[in-house]
Amino acid sequence: MTSKDYAMTKSKAILRQPESYRESRLPPGVRPLRRPPAAGRAVELAFLRWEKRELARTERFWRDFGFHIVGSSTQILVARGAGTAPCIAVAEKGSTNRFLGPAFRMSDDTNLASYVERFGAAWLPFGAIPGGGKGVSLQDPSGRSIWLLQGQLRSEPMALRAPTTALTNTAQHAPRVNRTVRTPIEPARVVKLGHVVLQTVNFQQMAEWYLQVLGLIPTDVQYLPDGSPNLAFCRLDLGNEPADHHTLVLVGGLEEKYEHSAYEVIDLDALGQGQQVLRAAGYSHLWGIGRHLLGSQLFDYWRDPDGFEHEHYTDGDLFTADHETEYSPLTFGGIWAWGADAPASMKPRKDLPTLLRVLRLLRRRVLTPQRLKLLGAALDAPARPWL
Ligand SMILES: [Fe+2]
């Protein structure tokens, strides 16, 4: 036990603060994540692309979740946040409900044409990008479509109420006197698209591809009991400008899957009022409110009407490009510092479809029995003494 852990006085239960190591001081056996040289540099997660069978249902959820709708027709739905991005989400009408892929804004000095030669990218047709500009479409190793953009217009930020944080009374500092906290009961106004999390069966290959294509920096890497990396929280390389702890997260698992996307809101009161509004509207709550460990965000997770997970967050960590990558063991309990218990549905299911999928992966040798065992060992440990 370390000084960071806490032993209960009346039981043997211990709340543990997970250990973490800088990349230059890795313990023996922990392997660093390979980082191929960057082909270009992403400077923003611009928007996410969806295919939806019922656009009206998606539009209702987007409004209640705090997006601002800027285009709505029978064929396409476009939304923005209150920040400067002209678009954070696009849904096209189609025959299935699925996540199509992310679009990233690339730095001006990135050579988009080089992606056509090196990565088999294709130029996007004129007018395909909300907010204009040019871009290419390419496929990641799992076959998912990724757009890389340049020259999109910026939008005028929308007016927001003042955050409550500047007037937060603490034991040491009490700036709020003769005043109350009365934030409006309204959807949590989404300011920006923060990050997207993708699960993959081929973590190593996918992580190297995304680090190379987008020039990302791994902020936190989590490893299995054999020391092999299996999860990477990656941030944008913005040089000396602070960047969110993570903009893209890749996690090794049993399928190629959109996990969730996350949207920054004004403050904790917006997160809480937003939760009330979504509850009142009858949506399916998934997890929260709590604080994440890696990234430190205060979070609240919801499912859209088609079952896709969306996160509201506020108060996340920011790092400049020179901050060193940290490594820690992968555990289920390590995804939150405190707050509501993470639902078991966030772990791989132990049902027949999962078993069949695992058998297929083992047969194709994408997954080895050893790796499956290590994944189980990492995720099955009790997340908290009461779980
Ligand atoms: Fe998240």
Q: Which DSSP helix (H) or strand (E) runs through 297?
A: none
Each residue's pLDDT, cut to its tens digit, for the chain (387 residues) gives 565 677 766 666 789 888 999 999 999 999 999 999 999 999 999 999 999 999 999 999 999 999 999 999 999 999 999 999 999 999 999 999 999 999 999 999 999 999 999 999 999 999 999 999 999 999 999 999 999 999 999 999 999 999 999 999 999 999 999 999 999 999 999 999 999 999 999 999 999 999 999 999 999 999 999 999 999 999 999 999 999 999 999 999 999 999 999 999 999 999 999 999 999 999 999 999 999 999 999 999 999 999 999 999 999 999 999 999 999 999 999 999 999 999 988 888 888 989 999 999 999 998 999 999 999 988 888 899 998
Name residue 174's amino acid: A
Q: Is the peptide bond before 289 cis (omega within 30 degrees of 0)?
A: yes
Cα of 311 from ligand 1 centre, angstroms: 6
Cα of 204 from ligand 1 centre, angstroms: 21
Cα of 233 from ligand 1 centre, angstroms: 10
Cα of 336 from ligand 1 centre, angstroms: 11
Cα of 178 from ligand 1 centre, angstroms: 37
Cα of 175 from ligand 1 centre, angstroms: 32
Cα of 198 from ligand 1 centre, angstroms: 10
Q: What's the Cα-to-Cα distance from 149 to each of 61, 217, 306, rounded to whole Å?
A: 27, 19, 28
Cα of 261 from ligand 1 centre, angstroms: 6
Cα of 234 from ligand 1 centre, angstroms: 12
- Smallest CA-to-CA distance from 286 within 265, 262, 267 is with 262
Cα of 313 from ligand 1 centre, angstroms: 8
The count of other CB atoms within 10 Å of the CB of residue 271 is 22
Token pair for residue 231? 């999860």
Cα of 334 from ligand 1 centre, angstroms: 13
Q: Which residue has the tokens 């960590």?
A: 317
Token pair for residue 126? 């004129």
Length, in residues, of the chain: 387
Cα of 90 from ligand 1 centre, angstroms: 20
E-only strand ranges, 215-270 = 217-223, 229-235, 243-244, 248-252, 257-265
Cα of 11 from ligand 1 centre, angstroms: 33
Cα of 171 from ligand 1 centre, angstroms: 30
C-alpha 191/C-alpha 261 separation (Å) is 14
C-beta of residue 251 within 8 angstroms of C-beta of residue 231: yes
Cα of 197 from ligand 1 centre, angstroms: 7
Question: Which residues fall within 8 angstroms of residue 282, CB to CB, at 6 or more apart?
Answer: none
Cα of 10 from ligand 1 centre, angstroms: 35
